[in-house]
A and B are shown apart, each in its own frame.
Chain A
Amino acid sequence: MTPVLNIFTAIAVSAGAFFFIAGTVGLLRFPDTLTRLHALTKADNLGLGLVVLGLLPLVEWPFGALKLISVWLLVQLSGAIVAQLIADFVRREEPHA
Chain B
Amino acid sequence: MSTVFIFDVALVALLLAVATWIIAARATFSAVVAFVAYGLLLAIVWVELSAIDVALTEAAIGGGVTGMLLLGAASRLRETEAAAVSVGAALRWTAAALCALIAAGLAAIVLSPPSTVFTLAPQALAHLPESGLGNPVAGVLFVYRAFDTLLEKVVLVLVLVGVWSLAPDRFWGGVPGLRVYQQPNSVLTLLAQLLPPLGIAVGIYMFWTGANNPGGAFQGGTVLAAMWILVMIAGLQNAPSTDRRALRLLVVLGPAIFLVIGLAGFTLADGFLAYPPGYAKPLIIIAEAALTLSIAVTLGLLAAGPPERMARR
Contact = CB atoms under 8 A, between A and B. Distances in A.
B194 A85 contact: no
Interface stretch (B150-158, B183-191, B241-249, B285-293): B183-191
A88 B187 contact: yes
Interface of A is mostly: helix
A28 B150 CA distance: 48
Contacts of A77: 191, 194-195
Contacts of B195: 77
How big is the A interface, by class?
under 10
A85 B185 CA distance: 8
Interface string A62-97: 000000000000100110010011001000000000
A91 B187 CA distance: 15
A84 B186 CA distance: 10
Contacts of A78: 191
A87 to B, nearest CB: 9
Contacts of B185: 85, 88
Interface string B175-198: 000000000010110110011001
A20 B195 CA distance: 26
Nearest to A81: B191
A81 B198 CA distance: 16
Nearest to B187: A84
Interface of B: 185, 187-188, 190-191, 194-195, 198
Which 6 A-B pairs rank lowest in CB-CB distance, beginning with the nearest? A84-B187, A81-B191, A81-B187, A85-B187, A88-B185, A85-B188
Given A77-B194, A78-B191, A88-B185, 4 more contacts: A77-B195, A81-B191, A84-B187, A88-B187
Interface of A: 74, 77-78, 81, 84-85, 88
15 contacts: A74-B198, A77-B191, A77-B194, A77-B195, A78-B191, A81-B187, A81-B188, A81-B190, A81-B191, A84-B187, A85-B185, A85-B187, A85-B188, A88-B185, A88-B187
